[in-house]
């Protein structure tokens, strides 16, 4: 288990929803320094005022530019790599940009961190990387492959692990803030497909997954948090329930690259998964490129396999989703403000 005391951390994409939550969590520890790397100077300035802690240092840079990673990684013990292009429709229109950030940028992070003798790097992925049909998911899948390949080729170097999780509630660009804005503006909720299902996680739970990979992770392994799911209709009805407005949506159809359900664990991965209570571990495949032996001996698989996706995960009811949403401080504040204005 890694020790946090007197260690130096760097969070790439540190001004994003996850990054800010991760920095807040690290500030609760005795970490010596937390470096925030991003290309958004306005958000960095806002974070500087919000946190007002000398342990938080800010670096302007872009994971696409290998040279810009040298200074923020110098003297760092551990890296949390969250920088990415995450919006599915945007990546559909600009797949090359997604490749530059999510794939080549991640390779730059691993290269720069290794050169700086960083002890460990945790790379953040998404359920969309499993059986991907959109550019964002495809590039995240390649990011995972890049991280595993690095770990396989450098077994005695920096430890590299991957975390994979589903939709994070109230994160930037997610559907819940959109629903709340539509209610405030007196507009009907726009529903893509009522039967579409998604995993539901809080930002704190996503941080818990990263902390688990950081503390327990084996290099080259991927970690998945078991999470409940709900249909988009159930989620929308739960939001309407909290804001005490009628459910009267408009159905707009799926956006570019959207799936009916998302998968956190493929059927193929389930053969080798390790159940760790609240988490699954997918160990690194350590076999080499010499396939000759497998023509003669092969590997006998006797385990049952089943994918873990949002259609077969625990399905939450409308009230259960509402209760889950009210655990989030941001939503409690929104609901209280809405009700007090009535």
Number of structural domains found in the chain: 1
59-71 pLDDT tens trace: 999 999 999 999 9
Query: β-strands 222-225, 159-165: how paired?
Result: parallel
128-137 pLDDT tens trace: 999 999 999 9
Active site residue 128: yes
Task: Quote the pLDDT of residue 246.
Answer: 96
User: Would 284 be classed as within a structural domain?
Assistant: no
CATH of the domain at 19: 3.40.50.720
Task: Decide if 311 contacts 216 (C-beta within 8 A).
Answer: no
Query: Is residue 289 very low, low, confident or very high in pLDDT (cuts 50, 70, 90)?
Result: confident
User: Would 302 be classed as within a structural domain?
Assistant: no
Query: Is residue 336 very low, low, confident or very high in pLDDT (cuts 50, 70, 90)?
Result: very high
User: Would 318 be classed as within a structural domain?
Assistant: no
User: Would 102 be classed as within a structural domain?
Assistant: yes
144-183 pLDDT tens trace: 999 999 999 998 889 999 999 988 888 777 899 999 999 9
102-128 pLDDT tens trace: 999 999 999 999 999 999 999 999 999
User: Would 106 be classed as within a structural domain?
Assistant: yes
Distance CA(36)–CA(331), nearest Å, equals 26
Query: Is residue 299 very low, low, confident or very high in pLDDT (cuts 50, 70, 90)?
Result: low
Query: What predicted TM-score, i.e. pTM, was given to this entire model?
Result: 0.91
Q: Looking at the predicted structure, is the pLDDT value of residue 55 above 90? A: yes
Distance CA(291)–CA(297), nearest Å, equals 10
Residue-number span of the structural domain to which 129 is assigned? 8-168+201-228
Closest CA to 165 of 313, 34, 285: 313
Catalytic residue among 128, 225, 259, 281: 128
* pLDDT over 90 percentage in the chain: 80
- Which SS3 state, helix, strand or coil, does residue 120 take? strand
Average pLDDT over residues 202-221: 92
Q: Is 78 left (phi over 0), alpha (psi -120 to 50) or beta?
A: beta
Task: Quote the pLDDT of residue 288.
Answer: 82
| CB-based contacts of 142, cutoff 8 Å, min separation 6 | 99, 102, 103
User: Would 176 be classed as within a structural domain?
Assistant: no
User: Would 16 be classed as within a structural domain?
Assistant: yes
User: Would 175 be classed as within a structural domain?
Assistant: no
């Amino acid at each position: 288990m890694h020790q946090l005391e007197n260690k130096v951390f760097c969070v790439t994409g540190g001004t994003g929803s996850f990054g800010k939550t991760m920095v807040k969590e690290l500030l609760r520890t005795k970490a010596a320094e937390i470096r925030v790397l991003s290309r958004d100077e306005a958000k960095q300035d806002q974070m500087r005022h919000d946190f007002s802690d000398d342990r938080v240092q800010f670096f302007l840079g872009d994971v696409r530019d290998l040279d810009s990673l040298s200074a923020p990684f110098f003297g760092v013990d551990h890296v949390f790599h969250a920088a990415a292009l995450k919006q599915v429709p945007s990546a559909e229109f600009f797949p090359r940009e997604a490749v530059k950030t999510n794939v080549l940028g991640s390779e730059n992070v691993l290269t720069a961190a290794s050169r700086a003798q960083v002890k460990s790097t945790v790379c953040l992925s998404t359920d969309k990387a499993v059986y991907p049909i959109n550019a964002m998911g495809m590039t995240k899948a390649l990011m995972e492959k890049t991280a595993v390949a690095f770990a396989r080729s450098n077994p005695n170097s920096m430890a590299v692990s991957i975390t994979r999780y589903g939709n994070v509630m109230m994160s930037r660009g997610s559907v819940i803030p959109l629903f709340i804005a539509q209610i405030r503006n007196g507009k009907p909720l726009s529903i893509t497909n009522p039967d579409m299902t998604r995993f539901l996680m809080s930002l704190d739970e996503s941080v818990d997954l990263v902390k688990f990979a950081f503390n327990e992770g084996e290099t080259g392994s991927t970690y998945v948090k078991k999470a409940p799911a709900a249909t988009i209709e159930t989620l929308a009805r739960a939001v309407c329930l909290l804001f005490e407005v009628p459910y009267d949506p408009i159905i707009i159809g799926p956006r570019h690259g959207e799936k009916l359900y998302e998968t956190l664990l493929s059927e193929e991965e389930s053969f080798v998964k390790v159940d760790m209570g609240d988490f699954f571990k997918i160990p690194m495949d350590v076999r080499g490129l010499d396939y000759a032996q497998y023509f003669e001996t092969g590997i006998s698989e006797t385990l049952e396999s089943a994918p873990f996706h949002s259609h077969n995960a625990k399905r939450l009811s409308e009230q259960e989703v509402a209760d889950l949403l009210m655990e989030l401080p941001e939503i409690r504040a929104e609901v209280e403000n809405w009700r007090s204005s009535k």
